[in-house]
């Protein structure tokens, strides 16, 4: 029996050679191809790309071949390409969707498939359910006598040109900011640094070659993986460190001096900065809001309230934020896991855009991020968010699922003001502190999110949340 292929929070992910095999990729891509043929126009087309993981380019070539056999015109990237660039290419070339071979920020032994829809947004559950059904029970299709063409296409120039319109690179250049960029050996290399070079902004880049082991740690721009970026910043006296994940849809930011700034805080600062600096974000007749996953900081709620704009809350997964961008309801949408996009940009998270907007904000305000955050806290209140990944044994997982179904009027002796079940179990306490437990859809862990008005409050809450899980 072949194992089921399941699309989680963002695509199908599996360990290479274990479940991520040529045979299973054939099955998965066959399902996607039949789905496209059954829903698309008479001349279906598809973008195919990949990240720099082991065998990614081989999987992508196989995928293009299978899709072409189904009569789908393929545009195949000649090199590793970021997920947001694929989203952009789908929209620009008006294809019926796109496939990216990537396991994003997961460790090196993983690979995966992200499927994006005709609008460039990550596939919604109703679409991935259909694809999963197609994979499990293939419907009969008549293949054309000759395959559709497979065209090699470089998606980078058009995407970078578009970014150069959305970010004020001149502000970064004229401020004389010294930047260091770490793509973590991922698909961002040549993109963010390429654009900065084009714009005449001097920047040092690290890890700009392929290493399918990602230097021995996951290509995840979290604090614990940015040691080399921090070191390079110290050596060059840099003002800011920028990083992106394996498929460059997530960002990671180090402030002057090398301090990691929570992506949660970056989202709130950039929203505030856009309202301050972009005519399309404030004033005028269009009244946009902001959107965030239920796991994301309430500092965004506070910034939204401060500027009198609506706030939308979604389950975890950028596909839900993508929908709100498509409906033109928001200035900025984000997730605490370092996902961000803005109005009129792709309905997909874009780590390259997020890094550049942060650099522009620092250049324009001429203040470190720590200083900017202090100022924002003074205006709207302070918020200290945290997230922990907790691997669960089967018995603890079962106990967790049972506990998360129950109702709670108090949590560790404190009164629960609100229970939110948008995704997992979220308990909001009377002082606005909150805790959220949910099972990850990309990794075999339980995610524990907490937030409190002080660092001490955060630590106490996190300890209480662990007692809840393991007690
Ligand atoms: C995680 C994050 C979520 C993100 C998803 C994909 O999902 O929590 O915010 O959208 O990864 O990110 P989960 O279900 O494991 O918590 V990535 O960089 O693949 O594209
Ligand atoms: Co990613």
* pLDDT tens for each residue of 394-452: 888 888 889 889 999 999 899 999 999 999 999 999 999 999 999 998 888 999 999 99
Higher pLDDT, 320 or 395: 320
Closest C-alpha to 453, from 297, 330, 348, 335: 297
Residues 6+ apart with CB under 8 A from 366: 175
Inside any domain, residue 100? yes
Are 341 and 450 part of one and the same domain?
A: no
Domain count, the chain: 4
Ligand 1 centroid from CA 414, angstroms:
30
Mean pLDDT of the chain: 96
Contact 193, 220 (CB under 8 A): no
Closest atom of ligand 1 to 8 CA is 14
Over 60: is that where the pLDDT of 323 sits? yes
Q: What is the mean pLDDT of residues 198-225?
A: 96
Ligand 2 centroid from CA 75, angstroms:
22
Q: How far apart are CA 84 and CA 86, in angstroms?
A: 5
Number of C-beta neighbours around residue 198 at 10 A: 12
- Residue whose CA is at the smallest distance from ligand 1 atom 12: 10
Give the tokens for residue 89: 């290419």
Say which ligand is closest to the CA of 183. 2
Ligand 2 centroid from CA 83, angstroms:
8
Ligand 1 centroid from CA 450, angstroms:
17
Are 290 and 420 part of one and the same domain?
A: no
Which of 337, 350, 422 to mutate for ligand 1's pocket (most ligand atoms within 8 Å of CB)?
337
Inside any domain, residue 4? no
**Residue 40: per-residue pLDDT:** 76
Residues lining ligand 1, Cβ inside 6 A: 9-10, 104-105, 245, 249-250, 293, 316-318, 335, 337, 339, 440-443, 447
Ligand 2 centroid from CA 419, angstroms:
30
Closest C-alpha to 197, from 208, 186, 212, 213: 208
Ligand 2 centroid from CA 104, angstroms:
4
Helices (H), 5-82: 22-39, 56-69
Cα separation of the two ends of the chain: 39
Last residue of a domain, one of 325, 349, 380: 380
Are 186 and 248 part of one and the same domain?
A: yes
- Residue whose CA is at the smallest distance from ligand 1 atom 10: 317
The dihedral sign for the CA sequence 152, 353, 100, 91: negative
Ligand 2 centroid from CA 363, angstroms:
26
Instruction: Supply the DSSP symbol for 42.
Output: S
Are 98 and 209 part of one and the same domain?
A: no
CA atoms within 13 A on the CB side of 457: 16
Over 90: is that where the pLDDT of 42 sits? no
- Residue whose CA is at the smallest distance from ligand 1 atom 20: 104
Inside any domain, residue 393? yes
Are 460 and 335 part of one and the same domain?
A: no
Q: What is the mean pLDDT of residues 160-176?
A: 97
Q: How far apart are CA 229 and CA 183, in angstroms?
A: 10
Over 70: is that where the pLDDT of 1 sits? no
Closest C-alpha to 329, from 282, 301, 291: 291
Q: How far apart are CA 324 and CA 331, in angstroms?
A: 10
Over 80: is that where the pLDDT of 170 sits? yes
Q: What is the pTM of this model?
A: 0.97
Q: What is the mean pLDDT of residues 157-165?
A: 98
pLDDT band at residue 155 using 50, 70 and 90 as cut-offs:
very high
- Residue whose CA is at the smallest distance from ligand 1 atom 1: 442
> In the chain, pLDDT over 70 holds for what percent of residues?
100
Last residue of a domain, one of 154, 173, 205: 154
- Residue whose CA is at the smallest distance from ligand 1 atom 18: 104
The dihedral sign for the CA sequence 75, 78, 83, 87: negative
Inside any domain, residue 5? no
Bridge partners of 419, per DSSP, are 427
CATH of the domain at 437: 3.30.310.50
Which of 102, 292, 316 to mutate for ligand 1's pocket (most ligand atoms within 8 Å of CB)?
316
Last residue of a domain, one of 350, 380, 410: 380
Distances in whole angstroms, Cα of residue 279 to Cα of each of 161, 199, 332: 21, 23, 14
Q: How far apart are CA 236 and CA 256, in angstroms?
A: 11
Q: How far apart are CA 371 and CA 157, in angstroms?
A: 35
pLDDT in tens, 113-149: 999 999 999 999 999 999 999 999 999 988 999 999 9
Are 228 and 296 part of one and the same domain?
A: no
- Residue whose CA is at the smallest distance from ligand 1 atom 3: 317
Are 248 and 268 part of one and the same domain?
A: no
Inside any domain, residue 328? yes
Residues 6+ apart with CB under 8 A from 146: none
Closest atom of ligand 1 to 441 CA is 14
pLDDT in tens, 212-262: 999 999 999 999 999 999 999 999 999 999 999 999 999 999 999 999 999
Q: Whose structure tokens read 């949340």?
A: 465
Ligand 2 centroid from CA 153, angstroms:
22
Are 43 and 135 part of one and the same domain?
A: yes
Are 83 and 109 part of one and the same domain?
A: yes
Q: How far apart are CA 124 and CA 117, in angstroms?
A: 8
Inside any domain, residue 3? no
Are 315 and 410 part of one and the same domain?
A: no
Q: How far apart are CA 263 and CA 71, in angstroms?
A: 42
Inside any domain, residue 6? no
Say which ligand is closest to the CA of 245. 2
Are 97 and 122 part of one and the same domain?
A: yes
- Residue whose CA is at the smallest distance from ligand 1 atom 8: 337
Pairing of strands 339-342, 330-335: antiparallel
CA atoms within 13 A on the CB side of 114: 30
Q: What is the mean pLDDT of residues 33-61?
A: 95
CATH of the domain at 147: 3.40.120.10
Closest C-alpha to 310, from 329, 293, 297, 295: 329
Inside any domain, residue 89? yes
Q: How far apart are CA 272 and CA 216, in angstroms?
A: 37
What domain range is 463 assigned to? 384-470
Give the tokens for residue 461: 């809450």
- Residue whose CA is at the smallest distance from ligand 1 atom 6: 10
Number of C-beta neighbours around residue 157 at 10 A: 9
Are 134 and 29 part of one and the same domain?
A: yes
Give the tokens for residue 442: 């990309």
């Amino acid at each position: 029996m072949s194992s089921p292929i399941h699309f989680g929070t963002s695509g199908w992910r599996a360990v290479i050679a274990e479940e991520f095999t040529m045979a299973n990729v054939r099955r998965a891509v066959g399902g996607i191809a039949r789905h496209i043929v059954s829903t698309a126009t008479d001349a279906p087309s598809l973008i195919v790309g990949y990240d720099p993981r082991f065998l990614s380019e081989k999987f992508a070539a196989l995928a293009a071949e299978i899709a072409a056999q189904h009569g789908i015109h393929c545009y195949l990237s000649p090199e590793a390409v970021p997920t947001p660039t694929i989203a952009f290419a789908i929209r620009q070339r008006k294809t019926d969707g796109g496939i990216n071979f990537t396991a994003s920020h997961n460790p090196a032994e993983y690979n995966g498939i992200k499927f994006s829809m005709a609008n460039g947004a990550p596939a919604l559950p109703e679409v991935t359910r259909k694809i999963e059904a197609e994979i499990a029970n293939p419907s009969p299709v008549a293949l054309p006598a000759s395959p559709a063409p497979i065209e090699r296409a470089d998606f980078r120039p058009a995407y970078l040109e578009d970014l150069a319109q959305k970010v004020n690179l001149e502000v970064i250049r004229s401020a004389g900011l010294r930047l260091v960029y770490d793509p973590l050996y991922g698909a961002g290399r040549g993109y963010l640094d390429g654009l900065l070079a084009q714009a005449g902004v001097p920047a040092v880049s690290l890890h700009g070659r392929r290493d399918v082991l990602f230097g021995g740690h996951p290509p995840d721009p979290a604090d614990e993986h940015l040691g080399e970026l921090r070191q390079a910043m110290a050596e060059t006296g840099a003002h800011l460190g920028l990083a992106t994940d394996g498929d460059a849809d997530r960002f990671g930011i180090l402030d002057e001096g090398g301090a990691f700034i929570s992506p949660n805080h970056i989202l709130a600062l950039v929203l505030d900065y856009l309202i301050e600096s972009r005519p399309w974000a404030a004033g005028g007749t269009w009244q946009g809001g902001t959107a965030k996953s239920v796991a994301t900081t309430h500092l965004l709620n506070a910034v939204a309230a401060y500027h009198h704009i609506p706030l939308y809350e979604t389950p975890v997964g950028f596909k839900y934020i993508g929908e709100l961008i498509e409906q033109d309801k928001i200035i900025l949408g984000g997730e605490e896991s370092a996902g961000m996009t803005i109005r009129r940009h792709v309905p997909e998270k874009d780590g390259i855009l997020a890094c550049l907007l942060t650099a522009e904000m620092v250049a324009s305000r001429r203040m470190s991020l720590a200083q900017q955050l202090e100022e924002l806290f003074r205006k709207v209140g302070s918020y200290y968010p945290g997230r922990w990944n907790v691997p669960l044994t089967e018995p603890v997982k079962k106990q967790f699922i049972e506990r998360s179904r129950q109702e709670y009027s108090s949590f560790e002796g404190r009164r629960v003001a609100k229970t939110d079940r948008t995704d997992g179990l979220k308990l909001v306490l009377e002082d606005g502190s909150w805790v959220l437990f949910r099972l990850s859809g990309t990794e075999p862990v339980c995610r524990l999110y907490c937030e409190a008005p002080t660092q001490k409050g955060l630590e106490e809450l996190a300890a209480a949340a662990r007692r809840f899980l393991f007690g």
